[in-house]
Structure 1
Amino acid sequence: MADIFELPIKVLFQHCDPAGIVFYPRYFEMVNQTVEEWHELGLDYSFARMHSEDRRGVPTVSIGAEFSAPSRLGDVLTWRLELIRLGRTSAHLRVTALAGDELRMVATPVLVCLDMDSGRPVPWADGVRAAMSKYLAAQ
């Protein structure tokens, strides 16, 4: 069974519109935070190391989203990240936000491993690929 990375994020005032619900673009910031924390905590490959030392990046080249219910100021969202498909240079993810058992949002980002100097896609490093594989969902 594949690992699922989980990250709790509390909905803060900065995430909300005047009605006190999460302004939808802020969800994408939380998706990105989940991806960045997964790299650091789940893969042991921080964005700091990736960018500064290895000159790699993982830009989002595609993303889909579905919003199921509003999230409100003070809610604690559990963000769950699953790897759906791992390509030679790409990773297809499913990132869900739950408040308790209630689904709030699902995002489906596609990341590409990029050489920051050339701007071209490059294969995942062997160690990163091995770490990512633990999160690969059964097909």
Structure 2
Amino acid sequence: MTFTSTHLVRFAHVDAAGIVFYPRYFEMLNATVEDYFSQEIGVDFAEMHLRRGLGLPTVSIQTTFLSPSKLGDLLDFRLSVLRVGRSSVDLLADVFCGDERRLEATATLVCMDLEAGRSVAWPDDMKPGL
């Protein structure tokens, strides 16, 4: 299954060279993950963080930048789940502008008890969507 979230490259995303400043890709990727959890898992980040006391930190990310993106581009962040562990998930993000692949990233995120500061097993109601 692939989840897609589309992001418009805005003025705030680009640097003086007129291309997306690399940390902004990570912000858009995080927004994609947030959309995925809300729409596919059925638990949004407000529910996770504020009511359940769970966080979802990124513990590892590997990224290859294939082609620059510019102001006004529409980027499709295509997110796929590669592996689900007891408390972690490995994701693949392919970013396209039309048919052109712009970026590939693999990331590991961990379900964390915010108060205890340690990983916890995925809640039962979230497992099926992963």
TM exceeding 0.5: yes
Give the distance between the partners of 1:131 and 1:85, measured in 2 at CA: 13
Q: 2:83 aligns with which of 66, 82, 85?
A: 85
What is aligned with 1:66? 64
1:1-139 to structure 2, matched below 5 A, reads 3-132=1-130
Conserved? CA contact 1:31–1:107, under 8 Å:
no
* Paired residue total: 130
The Cα of 1:107 is off from its aligned counterpart by: 1.1
- Name stretches of at least 5 consecutive residues in structure 1 with no aligned partner: 133-139
| Distance in structure 1 (CA, Å) of the matches to 2:113 and 2:23 | 27
Show structure 2 runs of 5+ residues with no match: none
Q: Is the 8 Å Cα contact of residues 96 and 103 (structure 1) preserved in structure 2?
A: yes
Counterpart residue type for residue 126 of structure 1: D
Identity rate of aligned residues, in percent? 46
What is the TM-score normalised by the length of structure 1?
A: 0.91
**C-alpha separation in 2, matches of 1:29 and 1:96:** 15
RMSD over aligned CA atoms reads 0.7
Counterpart CA distance in 2 for 1:68 and 1:44 is 32
Alpha-carbon distance in 2 for matches of 1:34, 1:61: 17
